Amino acid sequence: MVARSKLHLAQRTSKATSDTSTRSARASRVEALPVLDRLIHERIRLGIVSALAINESLSFNDLRRLLKTTDGNLSVHARKLEEARYVTCSKFFDGRIPRTEYRLTLPGRRALEKYIEQMEDLIRRTRKE
């Protein structure tokens, strides 16, 4: 009985080792996908940095209208981009009316350019096959 258990264990170990080496060989042939900037990849944040890349600055209301989103949603996503230093936010009064204006920073522009390059590479590789 002990001999049969040892034989069964040896067979299972051999099969597991074979399966692992097959998976390793397959994995070495698989092309790695680019690691996208998760901060920019989200739809609203991508919209914010894209809009700011083609406009010197935009007001909160301009962004809200462009992106067709709510005040709260825009505010949360803009704050995340501010914390990452991808955008700057200036608050001021225009007469008695409070205004909020956003601008894309140099690190934000570089992050967007890198993101676009990665997406273009992914699209090229997808179309190639």
User: Along the chain (129 residues), what's the average pLDDT of each consecutive run of 10 residues?
Assistant: 56 56 60 84 96 98 97 97 97 94 98 95 83
Nearest alpha-carbon partner for 34 in 128, 127, 95, 125: 125
pLDDT, residue 8, reads 56
pLDDT, residue 6, reads 57
Q: How many domains does the chain have?
A: 1
In a domain, 119, yes or no: yes
In a domain, 72, yes or no: yes
In a domain, 87, yes or no: yes
| CATH code of residue 92 | 1.10.10.10
Residue 67's domain comprises 38-128
In a domain, 22, yes or no: no
In a domain, 29, yes or no: no
C-beta separation of 49 from 88 below 8 A:
no
